Structure 1
Amino acid sequence: MNKIKIFADSTSDIPADWRQQYEISIVPLYTVFGDEALQDGVNIQPEQLFQRVSREGQLPRTAAPSPADFIQAFAPYIEQGDDILYISLSSELSSTYQNALLAASEFPEGRITVFDSLNLSCGFGLLVMKAVRAAANGNTMEQIVEMLTKTRPLVDTEFVIDTLEYLYKGGRCSGMQNLIGSLLKIRPVIKVIDGKMTPAYKVRGKREKALDQMLQNALNQRDQMDNDIIIVVHALAEEDALMLQARLKEETNAQEVLLATAGCVISSHCGPQTIGIMYAKKA
């Protein structure tokens, strides 16, 4: 049986130390300022993105890796005899999945499996972590895909957006919504449902109130959690993320509560101070 090599893309927000430990390869998406296309996490980092948006007053576009990008990334591992499992950003949010399928079709049949996470950020990264551990434990490609298929609808992804400014600049809310939201200190909470970003509810008032609501939503599900991994992901909100991590460690039976930083593509859509909690429920 060939070795199974796990790939993901940069929107999985998997930290560098996890990538190194589990030998996860990443295909970056792009953030595009004018005619300048920058690879997420390679030649632009979130802090640089926020500084540039603040300076220029405009958000970058985001773009999927091309089929050629995937072919270039996959080819060395196919040539050395590995089989590849690529887990992608939700097909409902990007053409990344379709481009990976096009690339896979250029290789011998059965050597590359492309799996749609129907999620984003660490909701998708959580599936990647489960896959690499399953591969390390000797599971076959079929067994890993079966596990991912069962786990995918059980992943809960919820995050608080601190400001409507990035949603406004990205055309996802009107100027009036942005103004009223800012005046009333309204913070939208987003969930991923069926692969799409869906407004779940809004919290008015202090940021702490929104974070506590999100935390309580997770803790209300503690008996249904699979107790494997909980991930807290943030964009320039480390202090709050550490607080949530500590509370989740204290009040759940999770084996690991991991901390991650949102990459440039996720950050460009949600803005600074965004913070989320991701976990899977029991099957």
Structure 2
Amino acid sequence: MSYKIIVDSCGELTEDMKASGYFETASLEIDVAGHHIIDDETFDQAGFLKLVASSPECPKSSCPSPERYMQGYCCDADHVYAVTLSAELSGSYNSAMLGKNLYHEEHGEKDIYVFNSRSASVGETLIAMKIAECEEKGMEFQKIVDEVEAYIAQQDTYFVLETLETLRKNGRLTGLKAIVATALNIKPVMGATEDGVIKQLGQARGVKKALIKMADHVVENLKNSKDKILAISHCNCPDRAEYVKEMLMAKAQFRDVVILDTAGISSMYASDGGIIVVV
């Protein structure tokens, strides 16, 4: 059976994924400093980070419309999947679901399933890769849905950012206790719950110590690491990503490792110097 996987643009695609023909990106959009930016292959991270640094206002994002998702579902593929960033962080999941309903109303039945990643960035990447892996094994549609949902349930997301201001100002840290003053150079170690809600796991003075503490959390919660892909995304800090990779590989064995630079939406929330780890 033929298949197609639509990933909203918070999820980065590897070069192999882009070249395969099975993956499509549904772009979110960003407004900052009077500029409207489409999060697609034209996204200029360096230019974007300069705009954010010079603007007194926080960047804002908007998700793909239901019509955009419906257009993605209109294809020759027998099985169509959408992977969105956590429904707790964006309207992308609801938009993809509305697009699915619109498709069924206008075009009839088709095997379409929308996955709420309960994560973001490379968390979505890993989920999309898992779908493709199941499809290549020739699994039935419902079996793939069940397998991938189980995979999402056991996936863990961690991150250390230079600043949480964009998340805070956009209401993505609702319910969290106040984060300690940045004047002390205290960097929180953050993660996502099973429901995709952001939580604080710990903190340390300085980014390097925070990354070490994050690595400790990753290893502490790891199960069957030899069967898992370690995924790391970074916002303009490849050396930092490599440092985290080396730390984790010294403590555990993984099936594979993927390191990607953040696209637009992930760059917006991770901010310059941010690191995200998903396993």
Provide the TM-score with structure 2 as the length reference.
0.87
Aligned with 2:253: secondary structure? Answer: coil
CA displacement at 1:123 relative to structure 2: 1.9
The Cα offsets for residues 89-134 of structure 1, whole Å up to 9 and x where unpaired, read as: 2111111111111211233223322222222111222111111111
Pairwise mapping of residues 83-98 of structure 1 onto structure 2 (< 5 A)? 83-98=79-94
Deviation, 1:167, is 4.6
Confirm or deny: 8 A CA contact 1:158 1:278 kept in the other structure.
Answer: yes
Query: For 1:195 and 1:221, how far apart are their aligned partners in 2?
Result: 17
Is 1:28 equivalent to 2:24 in the alignment? no
- CA separation in 2, counterparts of 1:5 and 1:191? 30
Deviations 1:151-179 (A, max 9, x none): 11211101011234545655678xxx78x
Equivalent position amino acid for 1:11 in 2: C
Q: Does 1:119 align with 2:119?
A: yes
Q: Give the total of aligned pairs.
A: 270
Instruction: Tell me the CA shift for residue 217 of structure 1.
Output: 1.7
User: Percent same amino acid at aligned positions?
Assistant: 23
Moved more, 15-24 or 238-247: 15-24
| 1:155-194 matches, cutoff 5 A | 155-167=155-167, 170=170, 181-193=181-193, 194=195
Q: Which amino acid aligns with 1:42?
A: E
> Would you say the 8 A contact 2:10–2:28 is kept in 1?
yes
Give the Å deviation of 1:226.
5.7
- CA shift digits 1:24-79 (9 cap, x unpaired): 1111111123665322133323222111112223222101101122123332x2xx
Counterpart of 2:228 in structure 1 is 228
CA–CA distance in structure 1, aligned partners of residues 226 and 148 of structure 2: 14
Report the more deviating stretch, 91-100 or 223-232.
223-232
Structure 2: gaps (5+ residues): none
Q: Is the 8 A contact 1:164 1:187 kept in 2?
A: no
| Aligned equivalent of 1:147 | 147
Deviation at 1:11?
Answer: 0.9
How far does residue 87 in structure 1 lie from its aligned partner after superposition?
Answer: 1.7
User: What are the residue-to-residue correspondences of 1:129-144 with 2, within 5 Å?
Assistant: 129-144=129-144
Is this contact kept in 2: 1:249–1:257, CA < 8 A? no
Q: 1:149 to 1:224 in 2, by over 3 A?
A: same
Equivalence for 2:49: 50
| Shift in CA distance, 52/202, structure 1 to aligned 2, threshold 3 Å | same
Aligned pair in 2 of structure 1 residues 191, 168: CA closer, same or farther (>3 Å)?
closer
Structure 2 residue matching 1:248: 3-state secondary structure: helix
Report the AA paired with residue 209 of structure 1.
K
2:229 is paired with a residue of what secondary structure?
Answer: strand
SS in 1 for 2:109: coil
Q: Which residue of 1 aligns with 2:246?
A: 246
Q: In structure 2, what is the equivalent of residue 196 of structure 1?
A: 197
For 2:186 and 2:85, the matched residues in 1 are separated by: 28
- Secondary structure of the residue aligned to 1:59 is coil
Deviation at 1:250? Answer: 3.8
Q: Distance in 2 between matches of 1:172 and 1:220?
A: 26
Structure 1 portions without partners, runs of 5+: none
- 1:127 counterpart SS class: helix
Q: 1:73 to 1:210 in 2, by over 3 A?
A: same
